[in-house]
Amino acid sequence: MVSGPGRPCLPAPGTVRGIRGPGDAATRRWVAPPHARILGRMRIDFDPEAMGRTPFYKLLTSVVVPRPIAWVATVSANGTANLAPHSFFTVASVAPPIVQFTSVGRKDSLRNVEDTGEFVVNFAPEGLFEQINATATDFPHGVSEFEAVGVAQEASARVKPPRVAGAPVALECVVHSTLGLGDATVVFGRVVHAAIDEEVLVDGHAEITRLRPLARLGKDEWGTVGDVRELARVRYADWEGERPGKG
Ligand SMILES: Cc1cc2nc3c(=O)[nH]c(=O)nc-3n(C[C@H](O)[C@H](O)[C@H](O)COP(=O)(O)O)c2cc1C
Q: What is the pLDDT along the chain (247 residues), one digit of tens a residue?
A: 333 333 333 344 444 444 444 444 444 455 666 666 555 567 899 999 999 999 999 999 999 999 999 999 999 999 999 999 999 999 999 999 999 999 999 999 999 999 999 999 999 999 999 999 999 999 998 999 999 999 999 999 999 999 999 999 999 999 999 999 999 999 999 999 999 999 999 999 999 999 999 999 999 999 999 999 999 999 999 999 988 886 6
Q: What is the DSSP letter of 166?
A: T
Note the pLDDT of residue 223.
97
Measured from the Cβ of residue 146, the count of other Cβ atoms closer than 10 Å reads 19
Query: pTM of this prediction?
Result: 0.85
Q: What angle (nearest 5°) sits at the alpha carbon of residue 183, between those of residues 180 and 184?
A: 55
Q: What angle (nearest 5°) sits at the alpha carbon of residue 133, between those of residues 130 and 135?
A: 110
Which stretch of DSSP H or E encloses residue 109? helix 108-116
Specify burial of residue 10 (Cβ count, 10 A radius: 0-12, 13-18, 19+). Answer: middle
Nearest atom of ligand 1 to the alpha carbon of 110: 27
What residues are in contact with ligand 1 under a 6 Å CB criterion? 69, 82, 84-88, 102-104, 107-109, 133, 136, 138, 216
Give the Å distance between the CA of 225 and the centre of ligand 1. Answer: 21
Which of these, 191, 188, 222, lies nearest to 65 by C-alpha position? 222
Q: Which are the contacts of 136, defined by CB distance < 8 A and separation ≥ 6?
A: 84, 85
Nearest atom of ligand 1 to the alpha carbon of 104: 11
* Amino acid at the residue 165: A
Q: Which are the contacts of 181, defined by CB distance < 8 A and separation ≥ 6?
A: 102
